[in-house]
Amino acid sequence: MADSPFARNIQLQLGSAAQPFGVITIVEVADASAGDAFEEVARSLAAHSRREPGNLSFSVSRDVVRPTRFVFHDRWRDTAAMIAHEQSAHFQTGIERAAALFAAPPTVIVVKDIE
Task: Determine contact, residues 26/111, Cβ cutoff 8 Å.
Answer: no
pLDDT value of position 17: 66
- Residue 47 inside a domain? The answer is yes
Instruction: State how many domains the chain has.
Output: 1
What gap in Å lies between CA 113 and CA 99, rounded to an integer?
Answer: 30
Domain that holds residue 101: 5-16+31-111
The pLDDT score that the predictor gives to residue 1 is: 42
pLDDT band at 12 (very low <50, low <70, confident <90, very high): confident
CATH number of the domain where residue 64 is located:
3.30.70.100
| Per-residue pLDDT tens over the stretch 49-106 | 999 999 999 999 999 999 999 999 999 999 889 989 999 999 999 999 999 999 999 9
Query: Residue 23 falls within a domain, yes or no?
Result: no
